[in-house]
Amino acid sequence: MTAVELPAPKRSSLDVVLRARELGIVLALVLLVAVTTISNPRFLSGQSIRDILLNTAILAVLAVGQAVVVITRNIDLSVGSVLGLSAFTVGTLLQNYPGIPVVFALLVGAGVGAACGVLNGVLVRYGNVPALVVTLGTLYVIRGVTYFWAGGSQINADELPPSFLNFGTADIPWLVILAVVVLVVTAVVLRSYRTGRELYAMGSSPQAAQLAGIPVGRRTIGAFVVSGGLAGLAGVLFAARFGTIDAAAGTGMELNVVAAVVVGGVAVFGGSGTVWGAALGALLLTTIGSALAVLEINQFWQQAIVGGLILLAIGADRLVAVRVAAGLKKRGSHVG
């Protein structure tokens, strides 16, 4: 049986555009920081930069996992709920067993998230239901489980061990370091390993991927497990960063996560984009939120800006996809 080559022109044709978008994010960041600093020089203070990086770390970990799913032409809307469940699970565990090492807490959080990812992946794969519908449903189911478990209670910082809280607030930015490790490892796997290339192939053309012998079902479940596991890990980072945990932790974060991924150049139609872009998108959105607070602008505008960025990014992806398709059709007619 001869191997079937996967068509990759769409991905290669988008590369320049996606890199330009990542450069555009960097330029937008520089401009935003410059304008905000001129208005209020304290914006570039050490504490302000530290807060932005720590908050970005949580969103970036979520965005990296989401990017892996979106590359396969799927989406995971349950990440905010998974973060909340993981944060409350780890908070309860540390509350009852304060001697547990931080590393074990990180593993427990990631395990809780991975279990949720398995549920999402299995429902999408074997239920033949669109990921949008499945993860919208699990978003509410997981949030409901967390509310039922919490019963209106709240875990406060004084109930958590100091070693865990220091992990999120120490002079060494462990949250940022961990987020960078997650980003680098995921980027290397996607770029340099066969599994990563297969995920891109699935997003570019699921039918061609199946013909090429790629285990589409297994890879789909794996992508959701990665997204869920990283959302669970982000839940632990959230708990360490803020200390106060209740059933509402992570509510609404899915919008910012999807926005970071899409604005960062990961095409919603699958098959293209990088986790580096997703991380830059997370940094841009976090900086926008901080800048609006410093400039004393109503936070409503943050939501409006995020929504506008999503629409612009989707429109840009669609425009490029149409132009690429037209170019390929024209080239094919010349060959014919």
The pLDDT tens digits of the residues spanning 126-153 come to: 988 999 999 999 999 999 999 999 888 8
Q: Treating both helix axes as pointing N-terminal to C-terminal, what angle do 174-192 and 275-294 enclose, rounded to 10 degrees?
A: 150
> CB-based contacts of 113: which residues, under 8 Å, 6+ apart?
82, 83, 86, 228, 229, 230, 231, 232, 233, 234, 235
Where the chain has pLDDT below 70, the residues are 1-21, 317-318, 320-336
Given a contact cutoff of 8 angstroms between Cβ atoms, the answer to whether 26 and 252 are in contact is no
- Read off the pLDDT of residues 166-210 as tens digits, 9 standing for 90 and up: 998 887 889 999 999 999 999 999 999 999 999 999 988 888 888
Q: What residue spans define the domains of the chain?
A: 9-38+47-328
**Phi, psi (degrees; rounded to nearest 5) at 245:** -130, 130
CATH number of 9-38+47-328: 1.10.3470
Give dist(CA 124, CA 121) in Å, integer. 5
Q: Give residue 320's pLDDT.
A: 65
Q: Give residue 326's pLDDT.
A: 65
Residue with tokens 């989401």: 66
